[in-house]
Structure 1
Amino acid sequence: MPLISVIIPTYNRANVLPRAIKSVVDQTYTDWELIIVDDGSNDETKSVVDQFLFDERINYVYQENKGVSAARNYGAEKASGEYLIFLDSDDELLPYSLLKYAEKISKGFPLIVFSKYFKGKEVRGIKSSSMFFKNIGVSNIPGAFCLRKNLFFDIGGYNVKLLHSENWELMIRACHYFSLGNDDISYVKYPLLQYNDWCTLEKLMQNKKNKIKSYKVLYEEYRQNNTFDNSLYLYFAHVVAMNYGGLGKIKLTMLWTFKSVNMKSLRIRYMFKPLLIFMKRRIIPY
């Protein structure tokens, strides 16, 4: 069995998928398998993948379209490696990425290994947040973290209801459920991923709508879960309020701003930031 399973979910990205696959094939480290999960594509994805299947380490599986989180979960179920790396189909691992992850794993078998990544030429990743247990530094971009397969399944995998921030939420559950500390986590403090972000006005507006849907789900789920601090679901409501503000929906902005305010300790930022965003977008449209 390989040490590391790389999982690439893809949907109608035949034009960029070969770049992601080749970034795995070109790794200096060889003890890996690659599972490509076709999430119901209707383009040339299958033909593109067929060109790589001469390599016995590469596997192709197909499912009806269920979304990226369900595709990642399906890939994890098929994986035989002890560790999992999720890679988006428009991103690329750097040639030495799996070697560096493997070196960190060999020094103590951590639950998670985080790395930095390139966004363009800018180095990003490994930031701490009050959302995580003991302010552990994390990277939430697929390809910039490697985690044990048993940890992934113990925390329930990806939340398939989420259309946005699913990696970030996965790390919240990992950190809170397992009270992760420095002995459980290892870091590669330089980039192991080329993150290829692209943005259009259409994508920006769709992301806002997806954020609203996803953070509403998180607000309801976390509010019912006594395991987590109240500040988490109040933050989720705050994100919903800010995105409604960005879409210019004042009544819903006010409603979710009220939900996000902890009346026992008023948070000025939570109260006014969504309204400031609303007013800004009234003056300066996207």
Structure 2
Amino acid sequence: MKNKISNFSKNSIFLKEKEKMDKPLVSVIALCYNHAPYVEESLASVLAQTYQPIQLIVVDDASNDESVKIIQQFVNNQNNNEEVKFIRLTENVGNCKAFNIGLAQAEGKYVIDLASDDVLLPHCIESQVNHFEKLGEEYGVVFSDVHLIDEKSKVIGQFYKRDKTGKLLQKVPSGEVYTKVLAKSFISAPSMMIRKKVLEEIGGYDQSLSYEDYDFWARTSKKYKYFFINDILVKKRILKHSHGKAFYLKRNNKHLLSTLKIHEKALAQNQTQEENLALAISVRYHLRLSFFTENFDLVFKFAEILQKMQLLSWKDRFFILLSKYKISVYHLYKLFLRWRES
């Protein structure tokens, strides 16, 4: 009887291992910079997935809090799991370069870029892979809805607006989305799974930029389709000093300068008036944001892009005029932002 039970256990283990081998490997690149309060929860969510096999690559970008200590303890507790790697950088290199360092170690067919303050729900990777495997090679990215959570991991909303029954209030673009992503950010980056060959084709993230998602969308959606999964698969943490809020910093704004570079690259690859009109929506928004944040030199540079597309409006010229005289409304803009967040 004991032999039968033993053989059954061995067969079960063998079948599980065979099932893992038959499925594509997913590489999760978890980027950490001063995420000590959240990093353990984030990494644990990767290993708690209903899907296997997963390769977890943790890259710490020279954190100066307790992040490294927590990550090292987490890795040590994995019993020498070869699929868990920790890369500790001694110099802060920024998100784009840190991700590329992790990408160089990635062996999976699919890749997830995970900020180590965000959390994957247990069925996240299984759902993403199941959808990807049913799609053709023309699809480079799948993405979903996310829960928005606060510093205490309390759910405070969703990325896409839904009614009380959970039904989406607006259709989310899917398929060919190039003009959509040029005009407006409508994808929650933490929800994406990316076909690794797409990242390899573009040489990873552009390391000259201060942030990665808009440039990635603009460069890849021109060639590849995106697929929206109508499900909530990730928890995205909203912090007071989150990376995205750097767009509203006064003067010497690196995010706005990076956006200018992305717009210039997008213009160079645009082929139709429809694409230029979509790009103009984003250029115009960032031109005005540059004025409000007193990045006056960038106002003129965003205006040059609109001029090249012959889409400079009288409203744009008004902001250009105000910028020439360096009219400051930043204090009023700050009050507006506080009111909007309250």
TM-score normalised by L of structure 2: 0.68
Query: 1:71, 1:107 → 2: CA distance?
Result: 31
Aligned residues: 277
Distance 1:268 1:117, change over 3 A: farther
Query: What are the ranges of 5 or more consecutive residues in structure 2 without an aligned counterpart?
Result: 1-20, 150-155, 161-170, 336-342
1:189 equivalent to 2:230? Answer yes
CA contact (8 A) 1:117 1:191 kept: yes
Cα shift at 1:12: 2.5
Q: 2:213 matched to 1:213?
A: no
Pair 1:105 & 2:132 matched: yes
CA-CA distance at 1:174 after TM superposition: 0.6
Matched, 1:73 2:90: no
Partner of residue 90 from structure 1, selected from 112, 117, 135: 117
* Change in 2 beyond 3 A, CA 1:273/1:113: farther
Offset from partner CA, 1:117-147 (integer Å, 9 cap, x none): 1124322258449x94264898643331101
Cα pair distance change 1:200/1:6, threshold 3 Å: closer
Q: How does 1:115-194 map to 2 (within 5 A)?
A: 115-120=144-149, 121-125=156-160, 127-128=172-173, 132-133=177-178, 135=180, 140-164=187-211, 166-176=212-222, 178=223, 180-181=224-225, 185-194=226-235
SS at match of 1:37: strand
Q: Percent identity?
A: 23
Give the TM-score taking structure 1 as reference length. Answer: 0.80
* Structure 1 residue aligned with 2:30: 8
* Whole-angstrom CA distance in 1 between matches of 2:123 and 2:242: 35
Q: Is the 8 Å Cα contact of residues 234 and 259 (structure 1) preserved in structure 2?
A: no
Tell me, in whole angstroms, the C-alpha distance in 1 between the residues paired with 2:242 and 2:205. Answer: 28
Q: Distance in 2 between matches of 1:30 and 1:231?
A: 43
What's 2:293 paired with?
247
Match of 2:240 in 1: 199
Q: CA deviation at 1:193?
A: 0.9
Contact 1:112 1:146 in 2 (8 A): yes
Match of 1:41 among 63, 68, 77: 63
Counterpart Cα distance in 1 of 2:177 and 2:332: 36
How much has 1:75 moved relative to structure 2? 1.1
Distance 1:258 1:50 in 2: 48
> How far off is 1:269 after superposition?
6.0
Q: C-alpha deviations, 1:199-241, integer Å up to 9, x for none?
A: 2599846654232221232244445x34565457655643442
- Mark the structure with the bigger radius of gyration: 2
The one-letter amino acid paired with 2:65 is: D
Residues 1:190 and 1:272: Cα distance change in structure 2 (over 3 Å): farther
Higher mean displacement: 226-235 or 40-49: 226-235
- Relative distance call for 1:281 and 1:274 in structure 2 (3 A) is farther
Residue aligned with 1:118, SS: strand
The CA deviation at 1:18 is 0.8
More displaced, 272-281 or 195-204? Answer: 272-281
Deviation, structure 1 residue 88: 0.6
Tell me the amino acid that sits aligned with residue 115 of structure 1: S
Counterpart in 2 of 1:59? Answer: 85
Question: Does the CA-based 8 Å contact 2:144-2:188 persist in structure 1?
Answer: no
- Quote the Cα distance in structure 2 between the aligned partners of 1:135 and 1:275: 30
Structure 1 unpaired stretches of 5+ = none
**CA contact 1:257–1:270 (8 Å) conserved in 2:** no
1:254–1:103 CA distance, 2 compared to 1 (3 A): closer
1:281–1:139 CA distance, 2 compared to 1 (3 A):
closer
Aligned to 1:114: 143
